[in-house]
Amino acid sequence: MNTNTGKITKHIILAIGPLIFPDLAICEESENITELDNIEVHAGRGRTLLGIAGSASQGEVGQAQFEYRPMSRAGELVEVIPGAVATQHSGSGKANQFFLRGFNLDHGTDFSVNVDGIPMNMPTHAHGQGYLDLNSIIPELVDKIDYGKGPYYAEVGDFSAAGYARIHTKHKLDQALVKFTAGEYGYYRGMAANSTPVGDGDLLYAGEFHLYDGVWRQPEDLGKFNGMIRYSVDKDDWGVSINGKAYHAGWMATNQIPDRAVRDGRIGLYDAMDNSDGGNTNRYSLASNFWHKGEDWKNDANIYALYTDVNLYSNYSGYTLGPEGDQIWQHERRVQVGGNVDHTRYDRLLGFDMDNTVGLQLRHDELMGIRMARTQTRNELATVEDGVGERIDDVSETSVGLYIKNQTHWLEKFRTIAGLRSDFFNFDVSSRSNSLNSGNKDAAIVSPKLSLILGPWYDSEAFINMGYGYHSNDARGTAIRVDPDNGAAVETVKPLVWSRGGELGVRSNVISGLKSTVALWWLQSNGELIFVGDSGTTEPAGGSQRYGVEWTNYYKPADWLTLDADFAWTKSRFEDLRAGANYIPNSVGRVFSAGAVVEAANGLFGTVRLRHFGDVPLDEAGGLWQGDTSILNIGAGYKQNHYKLEVDVFNILDSQGSDIAYAYESRLSDEAEPVNGILRHPVEPRMIRGTVTINF
């Protein structure tokens, strides 16, 4: 095979998807496996992906892009993906709010993330479908992030219509690492990590603690702890690792507050409607990964088991239900087990180089007592006259994914990637609150994919991508028959919701040192999930269409200077016009991020980073809008072989824009009736943090 042009990736069987489903969609590809096997240092965005990537919106980010990046929270790791935004509306220990390609992903729906092969999205979660909590990641231990946008990738299944990210952590460290950060508003973070040879492999161990009071009138009192231990053996033709992780966090939360009350001075910008909101969560996992390769084949496999639990106390609407307030308690305990295996073979058939992959993905989630109840200052109310009553359900959810993928080099300048994916689900719901809402449901979906790649010419490639994808819905919705609050009959929801999309893109390295991509994309979804303020959950809505353009740039004109700038414009609308009221609430229409890093020969460095997002409707009529949010962060420091000193200033312009905003009814204790309007959670004000890092 011609490895110089990156003719090997990993995937399978011919263009049978478009032959069987000629009017459906198509595509896929991720990385040239042969090349990656021989690369020890991943250059991330500085690495050329010509001949490797399957779309213009696919990419890779390495640890080098994190080192000097001011990062206020772990969830911002996803913001290295061009066009992605991670915000927060409810305390640092809770999952972030994510936005990508015009989706308000809530806490993860339609954006799939896994870490070292473990899926991070939680289906049928107590707080929201696809709940995605990245707080258990220690950023310094991330080796690289592979990402792709759109439903074009056969190896990616549930929650991936907008895109996916695959986070890989380090197997070993060149030096031991101790790091400590302190800053305003009671911010303290420390982490230590080391690796040592043991037998034929390396033992890596790390720990992190994080304390933070925050800027809010009600202190966050965040206490977050992470631990990780990993043993890895990496040989020339095989490798294995065993990875154990533990995570705990507890916090108080300040949720979004009515903008009307801030503007007239009744409450402050950093006040809360309920000072008892907050939560705690735990996560413990054990996983093993294995790979084995020969001259013309490769196997990858992993198996994992984890336990998580979460308690969330949230009051999003104040006192619409009465003087006791609207606080709700959401709780769950979950055991998740699963595994993935794929086999790739590199062949030459009828004179064409190709690689074929077949993969199997298994997952089972056992949820023990998903609970939602109305509470006051975290005490469950014994009787409920109106509003949310107590709901308790046990759920077993099993999914099986099968995929085949083929990459064929038909000509020197033309290759295709064709994939076909089938997913099978079983939802088993047992309602402790009302037996009428118990039931068992099976569902299946087929997703064909196709990519056409032309080039390279003049260090540039062109891409045509098409594909079908999907997200699953909350299992409880597949079994529900009566409203838990009033007993009225309700319809069940579809277990699986398809999406389909296409993309035209160009990737170019024609200017020395500049990696640039342009993508024009379209995506149709058969159903949205919309945030509901009074219950703090999401509910299904109608179909939608989105289209947009993305332009990404990573430029290293000199060894001492790195520049990047990424633009994303999106238009999102419900398909049902409803007399023109077809805006999708919280769909971000504009994202811009840019940064510069300067590294001097004497060890001095500096960085500046801008993040902007706007054009965000808050209601379907387009009458209420969030407003633009722009954050400028800067950092500077001094680095030598065994230590680094740095100072970061976040939000240096002291913006008071919104991290997130919504529109729904709320009521303060001094208001006679609920009022419909904007509720928002502001960005945190300007703050300074200093960090000392020691390597030995």
Express each pLDDT in 443-482 by its tens digit: 999 999 999 999 999 999 999 999 999 999 999 989 988 8
Amino acid sitting at position 498: W
Q: Positive or negative, the Cα torsion across 613, 618, 622, 627?
A: negative
Amino acid sitting at position 439: G
% of the chain surpassing 90 pLDDT: 75
Q: How far lies 617's CA from each of 585, 621, 623, 626, 678, in Å?
A: 5, 9, 8, 6, 11
**How do 163-169 and 111-115 pair as beta strands?**
parallel
* Structure-model confidence comparison of residues 503 and 104, the more confident one: 503
Per-residue HEC secondary structure of 27-81 comes to CCCCCCHHHHHCCCCCCHHHCCCCCCCCCCCCEEEEHHHCCCCCCCCHHHHHHHC
Buried residues in 207-219 as b, exposed as e (16+ CB within 10 A): ebebbbbbbbebb
- Vertex 18 angle, CA 17 and 20, to 5°: 70
Order across the sheet with 675-682: list the strands. 257-258, 675-682, 658-666
The highest-confidence range among 102-116, 191-205, 477-491, by mean pLDDT, is: 191-205
Q: Positive or negative, the Cα torsion across 571, 577, 581, 582?
A: negative
Instruction: Write down the pLDDT at residue 43.
Output: 53
Instruction: Write down the pLDDT at residue 346.
Output: 94
Q: Positive or negative, the Cα torsion across 15, 20, 22, 24?
A: negative
127 and 286 in contact (C-beta within 8 Å)?
A: no
Please report, in angstroms and rounded to a whole number, the separation of the first and last CA atoms in the chain: 43
Residue that has been written with the tokens 């769909």 in this structure: 587
> What does the alpha-carbon distance between residue 59 and residue 47 come to, in Å, rounded to a whole number?
9
* Structure-model confidence comparison of residues 65 and 453, the more confident one: 453
Taking residues 532-537, report their average pLDDT: 48
Per-residue HEC secondary structure of 421-448 comes to EEEEEEEEEEECCCHHHCEEEEEEEEEE
Segment 70-80, tens digit of pLDDT: 888 888 888 99
DSSP 389: P
Per-residue HEC secondary structure of 484-511 comes to CCCCCECCCCCCEEEEEEEEEEEEECCC
65 is written with which tokens? 């892009």
Other CB atoms within 10 A of residue 639 CB: 19
Q: H helices within 450-576, ranges in order?
A: 475-479
415 has which bridge partners? 409, 453
Residue that has been written with the tokens 């890093």 in this structure: 597
DSSP 390: P
Among candidate residues 286, 282, 287, 216, the one with its CA nearest the CA of residue 252: 216
Bond from prior residue into 456 cis (ω within 30 degrees of 0): yes
- Phi/psi of residue 505, each to 5°? -150, 160
Taking residues 654-679, report their average pLDDT: 94
Among candidate residues 211, 89, 94, 75, the one with its CA nearest the CA of residue 134: 75
Taking residues 212-217, report their average pLDDT: 95
Instruction: Write down the pLDDT at residue 218.
Output: 94
> What does the alpha-carbon distance between residue 460 and residue 508 come to, in Å, rounded to a whole number?
4
Beta-carbon contacts of residue 461 (< 8 Å; ≥ 6 apart): 50, 51, 53, 453, 454, 455, 506, 507, 508
C-alpha 591 chain-centroid distance? 16
308 and 119 in contact (C-beta within 8 Å)?
A: no
Instruction: Write down the pLDDT at residue 155.
Output: 95
Instruction: Write down the pLDDT at residue 575.
Output: 86
Whether residue 576 has pLDDT greater than 80: no
Instruction: Write down the pLDDT at residue 539.
Output: 65
Asked if CATH classification 3.40.50.720 holds for the domain at 3-695, the reply, yes or no, is no
Q: Where are the domains of the chain?
A: 3-695
Amino acid sitting at position 434: N
Whether residue 106 has pLDDT greater than 80: no
153 and 405 in contact (C-beta within 8 Å)?
A: no
Segment 49-62, tens digit of pLDDT: 888 889 999 999 98
- Phi/psi of residue 438, each to 5°? -100, 155
% of the chain surpassing 70 pLDDT: 90
> What does the alpha-carbon distance between residue 530 and residue 540 come to, in Å, rounded to a whole number?
6
Instruction: Write down the pLDDT at residue 21.
Output: 34
> What does the alpha-carbon distance between residue 233 and residue 239 come to, in Å, rounded to a whole number?
5
Whether residue 12 has pLDDT greater than 70: no
Segment 375-426, tens digit of pLDDT: 999 999 864 444 456 789 999 999 999 999 999 999 999 999 999 999 999 9
353 and 409 in contact (C-beta within 8 Å)?
A: yes
- Vertex 125 angle, CA 537 and 169, to 5°: 120
